[in-house]
Amino acid sequence: MAAPMGEQRGSGRLDALLVSHLPNVRYLCGFTGSNGLLLLTASNATLFTDGRYREQAAQEVTAIGAARVVIPARGDLWKAAAARLRPSARVGIEGNHVTLAQRQRFLQHWAGSAARLRNASGGIEAQRAVKDPTEVAAIRRAVELASSVFLPTVAQLRPGMPETEAAGRLEFALRQAGGEGLSFDTIVAAGPRSALVHGSPSHAPLPQRGFVVMDYGVILGGYVSDMTRTVHAGRPDARARAVYATVLEAQAAAVAAVRPGAACAAVDRAARKIITKAGWGRQFPHSTGHGVGLEIHEAPRIAATASDTLVAGQVITIEPGVYIPGWGGVRIEDVVLVTAHGAEVLTPSTKEMLSF
Ligand SMILES: [Mn+2]
């Protein structure tokens, strides 16, 4: 799936890389357990894990031909890795994910010095940002599964139903349809609570009249989906129609800006321009999107402050929103594949404003 060494960016030349961020471990060697440390050198790869995963690791660790599985006595993975490294080696660790205690444990058992440790964070993440066809297929399946439960769930919504129950119905449907898990805690936020960007489901009832934001995702084959639809209880008034139409137009404009070579900031700008022109620029307080893959938020960021450009094979969300305190909010989110010449929206669900 990925070359062991030599492609890590921003870390200088390394003799060894210690991969401890579990999604990166999974990406590089296929191991899905909750405790693992992958040591990569120019010539080989060693996965350290504990006794609970002896059988599982043997089954899963296949992607790197030479990957060996080592189960150290007393389960001290960092000590075991340290014992295998020369003192003169330049060793990369994932500084964004390694705890101070792990770093200290490693240095305690390594003959080398802290001055030879490098922060190699972001290198594997940069590789992961561009998906191969197998990964795109896995994301597509997750996105399609999530989309398939949207309309049937909307058909069950009634004014008075607690947000928690609406979220539960969505989640049950995702599991029933074969979901391995949820990408993140489901968001169902209704009425004035729909103005909360990340409103966790509460006991508040769905209103007689007002928006209901539903933001949810499912894991399939290890890969996540992410979608948001906003539906309306009762008849939408003129303001509700105007806000919805603006967010929908902004979402379409950002999707239309997606193509290889496009600046991520320009995609964000495409959405923001339309919302700002409609007078709600200050009510759009988050970035337009993010990469998805093994994790729900990964590279690239689709934000005003992003400096990178899109590459074919990246899979991102496009999710502008408008949130008016005390009144309500609208967000519309699709997963979009950057193709060789443009973009493909993977999320098949309708974006018409649905009422219940
Ligand atoms: Mn998202």
CA of 277 to the centre of ligand 1 (A): 24
Q: Which of 128, 162, 179 is at the close of a domain?
A: 128
CA of 18 to the centre of ligand 1 (A): 29
Using pLDDT thresholds of 50, 70 and 90, give the confidence band for residue 7.
Answer: very low
Block residue for tokens 């919302």: 275
CA of 247 to the centre of ligand 1 (A): 15
CA of 289 to the centre of ligand 1 (A): 6
CA of 44 to the centre of ligand 1 (A): 36
CA of 200 to the centre of ligand 1 (A): 14
Residues 124 and 134 in one domain: no
Residue 66: CB atoms within 10 Å: 9
Q: What is the mean pLDDT of residues 110-131?
A: 95
In a domain, 248, yes or no: yes
State the Cα–Cα distance between residues 139 and 137, nearest whole angstrom.
5
Residue spans of alpha helices (H) in 149-208: 150-154, 163-176
So what's the pLDDT on residue 63?
Answer: 55
Share of the chain above pLDDT 90, in %: 92
Mean pLDDT of the chain: 94
Does residue 206 contact residue 163 with C-beta atoms inside 8 Å? yes
Task: Specify the CATH number for the domain of residue 27.
Answer: 3.40.350.10
CA of 333 to the centre of ligand 1 (A): 7
Phi then psi dihedrals of residue 18, to 5 deg: -100, 110
Residue 198 per-residue DSSP state: T
Using pLDDT thresholds of 50, 70 and 90, give the confidence band for residue 302.
Answer: very high
Residues 233 and 292 in one domain: yes
Q: Rounded to an integer, what is the distance from CA 203 to the centroid of its chain?
A: 27
Helix 238-256 to helix 264-277 angle (10° resolution) is 160
So what's the pLDDT on residue 67?
Answer: 79
State the Cα–Cα distance between residues 250 and 122, nearest whole angstrom.
30
Tens-digit pLDDT profile for residues 266-297: 999 999 999 999 999 999 999 999 999 999 99
Residues 186 and 325 in one domain: yes
Q: What is the mean pLDDT of residues 78-84?
A: 96
Task: Specify the CATH number for the domain of residue 198.
Answer: 3.90.230.10
CA of 312 to the centre of ligand 1 (A): 20
Residues 230 and 341 in one domain: yes
Residues 25 and 120 in one domain: yes
Q: What is the pTM for the complete model shown?
A: 0.93
Q: Using alpha carbons only, give the angle 67, 71, 73 rounded to the nearest 5 degrees.
A: 150
CA of 10 to the centre of ligand 1 (A): 27
Structural domain for 84, as ranges: 16-128
Q: Bigger pLDDT: 42 or 205? A: 205
Residues 118 and 75 in one domain: yes
CA of 311 to the centre of ligand 1 (A): 19
CA of 334 to the centre of ligand 1 (A): 8
Q: Which of 96, 128, 160 is at the close of a domain?
A: 128
State the Cα–Cα distance between residues 225 and 144, nearest whole angstrom.
8
CA of 21 to the centre of ligand 1 (A): 21
Q: Using alpha carbons only, give the angle 102, 107, 111 rounded to the nearest 5 degrees.
A: 150
Terminal alpha carbon distance of the chain = 46
So what's the pLDDT on residue 234?
Answer: 97
Residues 73 and 23 in one domain: yes
CA of 317 to the centre of ligand 1 (A): 6
Residue 134 structure tokens: 């197998």
Tens-digit pLDDT profile for residues 310-350: 999 999 999 999 999 999 999 999 999 999 999 999 999 99
Residues 30 and 156 in one domain: no
CA of 261 to the centre of ligand 1 (A): 22
In a domain, 2, yes or no: no
CA of 249 to the centre of ligand 1 (A): 18
Q: Which of 108, 128, 148 is at the close of a domain?
A: 128
Residue 104 has pLDDT above 60, yes or no: yes
CA of 319 to the centre of ligand 1 (A): 7
- Enumerate the β-bridge partners of residue 11: none
So what's the pLDDT on residue 10?
Answer: 44
Using pLDDT thresholds of 50, 70 and 90, give the confidence band for residue 3.
Answer: very low
Residues 134 and 248 in one domain: yes
CA of 160 to the centre of ligand 1 (A): 27
Tens-digit pLDDT profile for residues 35-78: 999 999 988 899 999 999 999 998 898 655 557 999 998 889 99
In a domain, 79, yes or no: yes
Residues 191 and 338 in one domain: yes
b (16+ CB within 10 A) / e for 306-321: beebbebbbbbbbbbb
Residues 121 and 134 in one domain: no
Q: Bigger pLDDT: 237 or 66? A: 237
CA of 56 to the centre of ligand 1 (A): 31
State the Cα–Cα distance between residues 85 and 39, nearest whole angstrom.
10
